[in-house]
Structure 1
């Protein structure tokens, strides 16, 4: 994301946006961790997307789409925690970067079962 101001150019890398989204995701109750996949490196290289363990960011102009691959704690209401996750990530990214987040897609990859 780049923005021109009267003082010069402000550039926020997709890695920074991914980091903000990842931290917000992990701060959401019920989220055990982010889920990385083997295809992340290929996605980053061939599709121009950024992949920081389980976070995929696409920025067009001043709008962002964020895909989150997560592991949820067992006995958690998956729909409720996913909605809260979407809101937390959207708020964090918008407040810190000024980007408009148009989509936060949540992909629940697994459950963390503690014995």
Structure 2
């Protein structure tokens, strides 16, 4: 997470200016990632895991937004479902995240890096019920 930085998405007008917090980009990227078939889960940090256990949905979990001047890079950390092609899932994530952020914020993303940190094996039906 980036501290206290805002992205200017419009020039200053008589009505004011529009700025977007990096947390907003994390949420958009997180939702866009979970929509991709083959993504089992997102890999977050300890704090997001605790928040989810307490009932708070962490949409930005597993997403890291990096700002250097006006250049935006996004890192996505995922667990892939067993049996899905990793390169195909990663490419779909990159396309989905780029489209989601550009459509909602008009911000151009320099790069979207997908890090596969695990593979989720299928569970038997009996294990799911327990």
Indicate yes or no: 2:18 matched with 1:10: yes
- TM-superposed CA distance for 1:62, in Å, is 4.0
Structure 2: distance between partners of 1:94 and 1:63: 14
| Matched residue, 2:106 | 98
| Matched residue, 1:25 | 33
| Matched residue, 1:49 | none
SS at match of 1:5: coil
2:65 maps to which of 57, 60, 63 = 57
Unmatched runs of 5 consecutive residues or more in structure 2: 1-6, 49-59, 124-130
| Matched residue, 2:81 | 73
TM-score normalised by length of structure 1:
0.82
Structure 1: distance between partners of 2:109 and 2:67: 9
**How many pairs does the alignment contain?**
104
Which structure is higher in RCO with an 8 Å CA cutoff and minimum separation 6? 1
Unmatched runs of 5 consecutive residues or more in structure 1: 41-51
Alpha-carbon displacement from aligned partner over 1:3-25 (angstroms, at most 9, x marks no partner): 33312121111010000000000
- TM-superposed CA distance for 1:94, in Å, is 1.1
Runs of 4+ in 1 over 2 A off after TM superposition: 59-63
Of structures 1 and 2, the larger Rg is shown by 2
- TM-superposed CA distance for 1:114, in Å, is 2.0
Alpha-carbon displacement from aligned partner over 1:61-84 (angstroms, at most 9, x marks no partner): 443110000011011100111011
Structure 1: distance between partners of 2:26 and 2:121: 26
Higher strand residue share: 1
Structure 2: distance between partners of 1:26 and 1:18: 12
Structure 2: distance between partners of 1:80 and 1:91: 17
Alpha-carbon displacement from aligned partner over 1:37-95 (angstroms, at most 9, x marks no partner): 45x9xxxxxxxxxxx32100013444311000001101110011101111110111111
